Amino acid sequence: MKGFFITFEGGEGAGKSTQIEKTKSYLESKGRKVITIREPGSTPIAEDIRNLLKSVRSDDRMCDTAELLLMYAARAQLVNTLIKPKLEEGFDILCDRHDLSTIAYQGGGRMMNMEDINAIRNVVLKSFRPDLTVLIDVPPKVGMARARNRGELDRFEISNADFFERVDKAYHDYAKNHPETVAVVDGTLSVQEVSEQIIKNIQERLDV
């Protein structure tokens, strides 16, 4: 039996990592085998790319095109060497960010051309899509306040508030146009209430 591919999306501090752990526990209680991963990253090569993408360096500034291509290089490696084989083996995969992050951050945040993004997306993913995307909806200011207590900021976190507002808008636009595959949950509720919303969506939308 093929596993389910469920992705978790939202701005920084939305609570994705927290909810992935709770969802994993729920699915395991139903006897399912679950793997949790993150993007960019989760294979040795993709983790190297993640370090490149996140590091702030003073000797060179990463251009938007390099950032976009590196996101898809990491995704190609992860999808082809881990996600697809493990789904075939029957594992459910819970992924912290996936392709919708590129639409939101590079498309919305960086304002890159969506036709160009879609062309690369098509090369890398073809028709491969998550079975369900959970969008944890938190106003950017709330998410930033939650996430900013961690110390040094990475290359994305140093972006200004307008950037995160554009990311947020791109997420909502996409969710509005894809209600059948994107479940929007209110991330300002308590951890337990958010988890209950996610599990309800999984029960209603997937045969779990």
Q: Which residues are annotated as a binding site for ATP?
A: 10-17
Binding mask 59-98 for ligand Z5A (x = CB under 6 A): ------------x-------------------------x-
Options 8-16, 125-133, 169-177, 196-204: segment touching ligand Z5A (CB under 6 A): 8-16
Annotated binding site: 10-17
Closest to ligand Z5A by CB, 89 or 159: 159
> CB-wise, 27 or 135, nearer to ligand Z5A?
135
Residue 137 binds ligand Z5A (CB under 6 A) = no
User: 34, 94, 120, 194: which one contacts ligand Z5A (CB under 6 A)?
Assistant: 194
Residues 101-120, interacting with ligand Z5A (CB under 6 A): 101-102, 105-106
Among 26, 39, 120, 197, binds ligand Z5A (CB under 6 A): 39
Please, which residue, 89 or 145, has the CB nearer to ligand Z5A?
145
> Using CB atoms within 10 A of its CB, is residue 7 exposed (0-12), middle (13-18) or buried (19+)?
buried
**Half-sphere exposure at residue 153, Cβ-oriented, CA atoms within 13 angstroms:** 12
- Binding of residue 17 to ligand Z5A (CB under 6 A): yes
**CA-based nearest residue to 183, from 192, 195, 165, 191:** 195
- Separation of alpha carbons 12 and 97, rounded Å: 11
Tell me the C-alpha to C-alpha distance, in Å, between residue 55 and each of 7, 51, 173. Answer: 24, 6, 29
β-sheet bridge partners, residue 135: 9, 184
CA distance 117 to 65: 10
What's 32's DSSP letter? -
What one-character DSSP code corresponds to residue 7?
E
Cross-sheet strand order for the sheet of 92-96 = 34-38, 92-96, 5-9, 132-137, 182-186
Q: According to the binding rule CB under 6 A, does residue 147 interact with ligand Z5A? A: yes
Compare residues 65 and 89 and give the one whose CB is closer to ligand Z5A: 65
Task: Evaluate whether 154 touches 67 at the Cβ level (below 8 Å).
Answer: no
String of contacts with ligand Z5A for each residue 150-189, x by CB under 6 A? ------xx-----------------------------x--
* Side-chain-side CA neighbours of residue 23 (13 Å): 33
Footprint of ligand Z5A (CB under 6 A): 10, 12-18, 38-40, 71, 97, 101-102, 105-106, 146-147, 156-157, 187, 190-191, 194
